[in-house]
Amino acid sequence: MSDEKLKDHEQWRSKLTSEQFNVCREQGTEPAFTGKYHDCKTRGIYKCVCCGEPLFESVTKFDSGTGWPSFWKAINDVAVESEIDTKFGMRREEVHCEKCGSHLGHAFNDGPQPTGVRYCINSASLELEIED
């Protein structure tokens, strides 16, 4: 298990903003159309705000119209893990960072080809490393 996954809530609280902590460590969701990356067109790599692990490339980002950054593919096959989320009477696939366990958002099977997946991700869980 990664050292990042072993951090306690107080360690995360001291590292993150209150919004980042709510989203990443308490499985919160930022309001639609409010996150800094929902309409971002800048090229780069989206990394986990908690541990810095690369998660998504900007070339896989698309406008889903949902108000959250959406990607059709993770950066590799092991960067993002998922589990079933049954909160709020729904059955969804929650996605989180494999390295630190940070909650990122959810994955849906209504995305564009070639994957058909829409990773609907909270801006608060991401940090964009801009390409030169």
Q: pLDDT tens across 50-88, in order?
A: 999 999 999 999 999 999 999 999 999 999 999 887 776
The residues that are catalytic are: 120
Question: What pLDDT does 11 receive?
Answer: 87
**Structural domains in the chain plus CATH codes:** 3-130 (2.170.150.20)
**CA dist., res. 26 & res. 33, Å (int):** 20
Question: What pLDDT does 131 receive?
Answer: 84
> Which residue, 5, 112, 108, 124, is CA-closest to 59?
112
Question: What pLDDT does 43 receive?
Answer: 97
Q: Which residues in the chain show pLDDT less than 50?
A: 1
Question: What pLDDT does 38 receive?
Answer: 95
Question: What pLDDT does 132 receive?
Answer: 74
Pairing of strands 80-85, 103-108: unpaired
- The model's pTM is 0.91
